[in-house]
Amino acid sequence: MAHEDIKKLVSDIKSLKVQGARNVAKTALKALILQAKYSKAKNSKSFYDEIKSLSGVLAETRPTEPMMRNLLERASTYLYEKSRKEKRQLDQLKNDFINEQKNYIKKIDEDAEKLFAYGARLVPNDAVVITHCHSSTVTGILKKAKSKNIKVIACETRPRYQGRITAKELAEAGIDVTLVVDGAMNLYMKKADLVLVGADSVTSRGDLINKVGTSTLAHIARMHDVSFYSAAELFKYSIMTFYGTREKIEERDPSEVWEKPPKGVKISNPAFDVTAAKYINGYITEVGVIPPQSFFTLATQKLGVKIYE
């Protein structure tokens, strides 16, 4: 039975209390750290089984979160190789595992700062930027670009209204921000210089999986000849898409859309949609701004994955 502190982190991820792929991934690693601290394992195999089991539970909380999946897999691989190659005492193995995850959480934040800097350079002076949903990566870029006298239009993002989180965060940072309903995307695109969204997942073809409504925003941006960029760490690459498996689109509770719908009314509530690479000008990453077609190569290099073997 998992410790209550771990259960809370799992619940926070599943309930969307934790927002943003990077924050979800960091919270998942923190859960692994707690598992190592509370572990009752008597040997390295039992400890590995505990970590692997919890990783499976965490991965199921948010099916469309490859950044979390990739980092959980990295943690399990680290533990497996450490225990196999180095005959360490169990307590030392647990401490090494904890320190490795703490160090990687720090590295995630360091990579984010690099991404913020690349993104801020991309934003023109006096730009009007349209955003969708809430991405801590996007707000990080916009805060970095604050001195450029930018204005932000945040789509409210039904049904969970994550756009309100973005608007509140930017307003508190002193940035000129206007919240608009999702249906007003086309109207406000006429005023925009740039569209900037986050990313939940990036496929092998460079397609973007992000909050539902993102694809519509990209199509409208193309209609108005407005550049469309996604801020995405390379860890958001979905390895399974190389082998022909589609990233699962999470279907959330219908009550988020309509708590008590009339009899006979069916509710569909997909959390994400897919934006084709051809609508994306580039991905803002920790290694720079890259074309969609380059994401696969750079991501597999970073993950250390040799998918052709």
| Chain Cα centroid distance, residue 217 | 18
Structure tokens, 166: 């973005």
| Domains in the chain with CATH codes | 4-113 (1.20.120.420), 125-303 (3.40.50.10470)
Task: Report how far residue 258's alpha carbon sits from residue 306's, in angstroms, rounded to the nearest whole number.
Answer: 45
**pLDDT for the residue 306:** 66
Provide the angle, in degrees to the nearest 10, between the axes of the packed helices 90-122 and 44-61: 30
CA-based nearest residue to 23, from 56, 62, 79, 73: 62
Q: What is the pLDDT of residues 145-199, one digit of tens each?
A: 999 999 999 999 999 999 999 999 999 999 999 999 999 999 999 999 999 999 9
Evaluate whether 217 touches 197 at the Cβ level (below 8 Å): yes
Q: How many CB atoms lie within 10 A of CB 156?
A: 21
Give me the residues of the chain with pLDDT under 50, please: 1
**pLDDT for the residue 245:** 76
Residues designated as active site: 133, 200
The answer for 225, left when phi > 0, alpha when psi is -120 to 50, beta otherwise, is left
Structure tokens, 197: 């969204």
**pLDDT for the residue 21:** 85
